[in-house]
Amino acid sequence: MFVTIQAHEYNKYPVLMEKMFKLRKRVFADQLGWDVPVNGDCERDEYDALKPVYLVWCGPDRTTLYGMMRLMPTTGPTLLYDVFRRTFPDTANLVAPGIWEGTRMCIDEQAIAADHPDIDPGRAFSLMFLALCECAMEHGIHTMISNYEPQMKRIYRRAGVEVNELGRADGYGKLPVCCGEFEVSQRVLETMRSKLGVDMPLYRRTVPERSVTAEILRAA
């Protein structure tokens, strides 16, 4: 199932919350070698203290984690403006209630392989993007902004995601960092569902008793 965890719900999902930060450490610190704050076996930064929303892909038991992404409104502090300001032009105004930033998207490839062996990492990311589009539409978000490395464009195309690259800059790591603007609309959602062969919603605003997502994944 794909659900959001908001600040008032953090205490309801302590196992998922802990697994999120551990997964981020394994992916961003250990695998990618990013310069991110690590405390023990967890990675979290100052933006996690600002009570963001987390989009989480988890099992029906609500303790197994497959993937996650952090969502923050651009009307408050964001990595986009605080860290990656050089990746988009000065003329671009990316601050508005309907524009949100997505960061720290990652998947647990081992957990997915164990429970959903027919889903490769590329499709796993694609399903995360589809759930993100559904989630954004459900909450009145019309544009998502994210920074990414150039090779991610291949995954975006696979998922049917439409991205407008606003700019890019060197000096953040081994590869350039791009800034992309992602349209959130019914048209984009329908394109993604067609591209991925998914005709039922993945995202649920509230956690259902029976996971529709699990049924879709079993049939994939």
Concatenated DSSP letters for the chain? -EEEE-GGGGGG-HHHHHHHHHHHIIIIIIIS-----EETTEE--GGGGG--EEEEEE-TTS--EEEEEEEEETTS--HHHHT-GGGS-TT----STTEEEEEEEEE-HHHHHHH-TT--HHHHHHHHHHHHHHHHHHTT--EEEEEE-TTHHHHHHHHT--EEEEEEESSSSSS-EEEEEEE-SHHHHHHHHHHHT--S--B-SS--SS-HHHHHHHH-
Give the residue carrying structure tokens 């610190």: 29
pLDDT tens-digit readout, 186-215:
999 999 999 999 999 999 876 544 444 444
SS3 (DSSP) at 190: helix
- pLDDT of amino acid 219: 47
CATH code at position 162? 3.40.630.30
φ, ψ dihedrals at 129, nearest 5°:
-65, -40
Residues of the chain where predicted confidence (pLDDT) is lower than 50? 208-216, 219-220
100 φ/ψ angles, rounded to the nearest 5 degrees: -120, 155
pLDDT at 181: 96
d(CA 114, CA 36) in angstroms, rounded, equals 28
Q: pLDDT (tens digit, 9 = 90+) per residue, 92-119?
A: 999 999 999 999 999 999 999 999 999 9
Yes or no: say if 118 and 192 are a contact pair by the CB < 8 Å rule.
no
* Owning domain of residue 131: 2-219
Query: Can you tell me the distance from the alpha carbon of 188 to that of 179, in angstroms, rounded to the nearest whole number?
Result: 19
Placement of tokens 């023990």 in the chain: 40
pLDDT of residue 206: 63
Question: What is the reported pTM?
Answer: 0.89
In this structure, the strands spanning 99-107 and 143-148 are parallel
The domain tally of the chain equals 1
Q: For residue 40, what are its two tokens?
A: 């023990």
User: Are the beta carbons of 64 and 18 closer than 8 angstroms?
Assistant: no
Q: Do you know the residue count of the chain?
A: 220
